[in-house]
């Protein structure tokens, strides 16, 4: 029988791509999403869709009583680092209380496996690639909500036997044209913003800070293709049959500065992309680059699209065909 996966936040950028890959790998998928940020049209046709909130315990109870799920993947949550520094309450409620409500309801209904979207934002900044045992020190409320949820999962593991994988993504990027791409509202991620400039939808791209302790003064990040994230989720689901907890980085191990990303986008799009320097944004680390050896060793994971140019090319293809998003 096909395994049933409950994908909370499956109408979002990463969740919709993972849902599609799960279906291709012969899983049965239910997407549960309040559509506060996601797009109904991004949900693959063969997935069942339930409009609901992870804060709505009653609805979750009903849903879990109706169908027996083998595992949950938890993408649902707010993601804008800057907003989290202005409105922390929204983030603690949605990401911490929401995740807790989902975990608690899952356990009460016999669901014992969760794969959770954590983030590089849990770490303190470091000049060299981060390993999972490196210093935890979120620079933002967003990162803190991810860390608290990891700890909640860890305690449910120790006390009630919840099996969990916390996957610490670095910067998700790229698209799966023609169907799915990155269209957050508001968009706060560098690559789609840069592509909006190339499409003439924005006058310029703001570089938030050029005085960081990095080679060119701008922040350095590790970009990972969304399809490579998807393959890691499927491997993590399988790994939870054998091991009961897992915390893994997912990144390419290569850091690119904001200026380098803009320059690469200029090459890909063959457009002048005007950049202006703006003050630093609260909550940004200087450098976040992954050492993903653990995911490679334990999950047998291997990124297939590691090259930044290829990642941006896939995003550009999608953006050109979806200039208004979904
Ligand atoms: N995009 C990245 O680079 C990145 C990096 C690290 C971690 N993550 C994490 O991965 C997850 C997915 O990110 P994304 O870029 O796809 O974001 P997204 O905003 O596109 O997707 C999140 C989805 O969750 C839904 N949602 C939000 N709150 C909800 C709630 N209370 N109940 C039900 N549904 C709710 C939204 O409608 C949306 O469809 C997030 O948890 C994010 O923190 C993303």
- Domain range annotation of the chain: 4-173+223-250, 190-221+253-321
Looking at CATH, the fold of the domain delimited by 190-221+253-321 is given as UDP-galactose 4-epimerase; domain 1 (3.90.25)
Which of 12, 49, 250 has the most ligand 1 atoms within 8 A of CB, as the residue to mutate? 12
pLDDT at position 224, please?
A: 98
Q: Which atom of ligand 1 is nearest to the CA of 169?
A: 6
| Helix residue spans in 161-280 (DSSP H) | 190-198, 226-239, 258-269
Mean of the per-residue pLDDT values of the chain: 96
What mean pLDDT do residues 152-165 have? 98
Which of 6, 15, 98 has the most ligand 1 atoms within 8 A of CB, as the residue to mutate? 15
pLDDT at position 98, please?
A: 98
pLDDT at position 22, please?
A: 98
Of residues 13, 123, 142, 169, which has the active-site annotation? 142
Domain 4-173+223-250 has CATH 3.30.300.90: no
What pTM does this model have?
Answer: 0.97
The answer to whether 115 and 167 have CB atoms below 8 angstroms apart is yes
> How much distance in Å is there from the Cα of 270 to the middle of ligand 1?
31
126 pLDDT band, cuts 50/70/90, is confident
> How much distance in Å is there from the Cα of 117 to the middle of ligand 1?
8
pLDDT at position 283, please?
A: 85
Would the pLDDT of 127 be above 90? no
pLDDT at position 34, please?
A: 98
204 pLDDT band, cuts 50/70/90, is very high
C-alpha dist (Å) from residue 38 to 101, 186, 189, 301: 20, 11, 15, 27
Would the pLDDT of 53 be above 90? yes
Percentage of the chain lying above the pLDDT 70 cut:
100
What mean pLDDT do residues 91-115 have? 98
What mean pLDDT do residues 25-43 have? 97
Find the residues whose C-beta lies inside 6 A of ligand 1. Answer: 8-9, 11-15, 33-38, 53-55, 75-77, 79, 94, 98, 117, 119, 169, 171-172, 184
The answer to whether 253 and 224 have CB atoms below 8 angstroms apart is no
Pairing between β-strand 4-8 and β-strand 71-74 as defined by DSSP bridges: parallel
For the question of residue 142 being annotated catalytic, the response is yes
What mean pLDDT do residues 219-225 have? 97
pLDDT at position 125, please?
A: 84
pLDDT at position 14, please?
A: 98
What mean pLDDT do residues 251-269 have? 97
Would the pLDDT of 282 be above 90? no
248 pLDDT band, cuts 50/70/90, is very high
pLDDT at position 299, please?
A: 98
Token digits of residue 156: 């449910």
Q: What angle do CA 44, 47, 49 make, to 5 degrees?
A: 105
């Amino acid at each position: 029988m096909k395994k049933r996966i409950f994908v909370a936040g499956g109408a979002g950028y990463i969740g919709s791509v993972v849902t599609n890959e799960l279906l291709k790998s012969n899983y049965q998928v239910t997407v549960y999403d309040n559509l506060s940020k996601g797009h109904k049209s991004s949900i693959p046709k063969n997935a069942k869709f339930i409009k609901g909130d992870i804060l709505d315990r009653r609805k979750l109870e009903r849903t879990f009583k109706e169908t027996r799920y083998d595992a949950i993947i938890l993408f649902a949550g707010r993601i804008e680092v800057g907003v989290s520094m202005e409105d922390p309450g929204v983030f603690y409620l949605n990401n911490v209380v929401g995740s807790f409500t989902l975990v608690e309801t899952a356990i009460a209904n016999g669901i014992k496996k969760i794969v959770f979207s954590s983030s590089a934002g849990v770490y303190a900044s470091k000049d060299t690639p981060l390993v999972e045992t490196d210093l935890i020190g979120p620079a933002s409320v967003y990162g803190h909500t991810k860390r608290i949820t990891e700890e909640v999962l860890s305690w449910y593991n120790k006390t009630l036997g919840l099996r969990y994988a916390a996957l610490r993504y670095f910067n998700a990027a790229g698209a799966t044209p023609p169907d799915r791409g990155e269209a957050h509202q508001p968009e706060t991620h560098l690559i789609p913003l840069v592509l909006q400039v190339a499409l003439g939808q924005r006058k310029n791209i703001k570089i938030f800070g050029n005085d960081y302790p990095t080679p060119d003064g701008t922040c350095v990040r590790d970009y990972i293709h969304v399809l490579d994230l998807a393959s890691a989720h499927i491997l993590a689901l399988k790994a939870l049959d054998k091991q009961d907890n897992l915390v893994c980085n997912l990144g390419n191990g290569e850091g690119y500065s904001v200026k380098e990303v803009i320059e690469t986008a200029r090459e890909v799009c063959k457009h002048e992309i005007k950049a202006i320097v703006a003050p630093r944004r609260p909550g940004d680390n200087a450098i976040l680059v992954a050492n993903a050896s653990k995911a490679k060793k334990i999950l047998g994971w291997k990124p297939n699209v590691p090259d930044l140019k290829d990642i941006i090319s896939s995003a550009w293809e999608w953006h050109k065909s979806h200039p208004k998003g979904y």
